[in-house]
Amino acid sequence: MTRNMSATVPQLALDLGHRPALGRDDFLVAPCNRAAVAWLDRWPDWPGPALAVHGPPGCGKTHLAQVWRARSGALPVVPAALADPSALAAAARVFVLDGVEPDRTPLDEPGLLHFHNLVAERGGHLLICARVAPARWPVALADLRSRLAAAPAVAVAAPDDALIEAVLVKLFADRQLAVGADALRYLAIHMERSFEAARNAVAAIDRAALAARRRVTVALVRDVLADRPEA
């Protein structure tokens, strides 16, 4: 099977910026994430110790946080680690807290408040990634509410058609798969609009193409999506 990008792919006119991510990945800058990128590019010149990036699942928050971690050397933090905020704050000065969903999982409010205060006292910074802006979290502690409300919060929207197509181009190129523009557009229109769905769909198409020794065409993409109703 041919594993070179076909001549049709570069014909997609996508005026999108690129910035390096971890390893060989590229982070695509587009209108849906440009404001968040600009805020992270300001670091360490933030107006306060914390910044929140929020948006729906699959919009690229975590990937954007990884790009920033590679630049800042930030330590990743999971919500469960807030149980020992002193030890956590002593480990670094810059942190990324991802996966906080207080509307679904109880939040350690005293732990987060103590951790935020320690980071601020030591002149550090905390990037919070969540589905919902922290100012809208159901927080009982008044002091924590005020600190979260004071932190700048920037939204990352779901990727638009141009960005999804650009991501698909890259994902297929990474796998050295020849894909025509018609198959790319069909996939972009009919799949769930998220980066995770794009990665999963391209992986499934790659497996199907190899197993059946077929080129990646609209027909193959249609067959794969029919077998993956969640895509």
> What is the CATH number for 76?
3.40.50.300
Per-residue CA distances from 50 to 66, 93, 120, 129 (Å):
17, 12, 8, 11
216 and 195 both lie in a single domain: yes
Pairing mode, strands 17-20 and 75-77: unpaired
Domain boundary among 120, 155, 190: 155
pLDDT digits (tens, 9 = 90+) for 112-161: 999 999 999 999 999 999 999 999 999 999 999 999 999 999 999 988 88
Q: What percent of the chain clears pLDDT 90, i.e. is strictly above it? A: 63
Q: Is residue 21 part of a domain?
A: no
pTM for the full predicted model: 0.75
Residue 201 sits in which domain range?
A: 9-14+159-227
219 and 141 in a common domain: no
Are 47 and 138 members of one domain?
yes
Residue 11 CB: number of other CB atoms within 10 A? 9
Task: Tell me: pLDDT of 181 over 50.
Answer: yes
Check whether residue 93 and residue 114 sit in a common domain.
Answer: yes
Predicted confidence at residue 76, as pLDDT, reads 96
Domain closes at, from 133, 155, 177:
155
State how many domains the chain has.
Answer: 2
- Mean pLDDT, the chain, whole residue set: 86
The answer on 116 and 206 residing in a single domain is no
What residue has token string 């919009």?
A: 59
Last residue of a domain, one of 110, 136, 155: 155
Where residue 220 sits, what CATH number does that domain have?
1.10.8.60
- Specify whether 35 is located in the same domain as 147: yes
pLDDT tens digits for 27-39?
Answer: 788 889 999 999 9
Q: Quickly state the pLDDT bin for 26 (edges 50, 70, 90).
A: low
pLDDT, one tens digit per residue, over 183-193 is 999 999 999 88
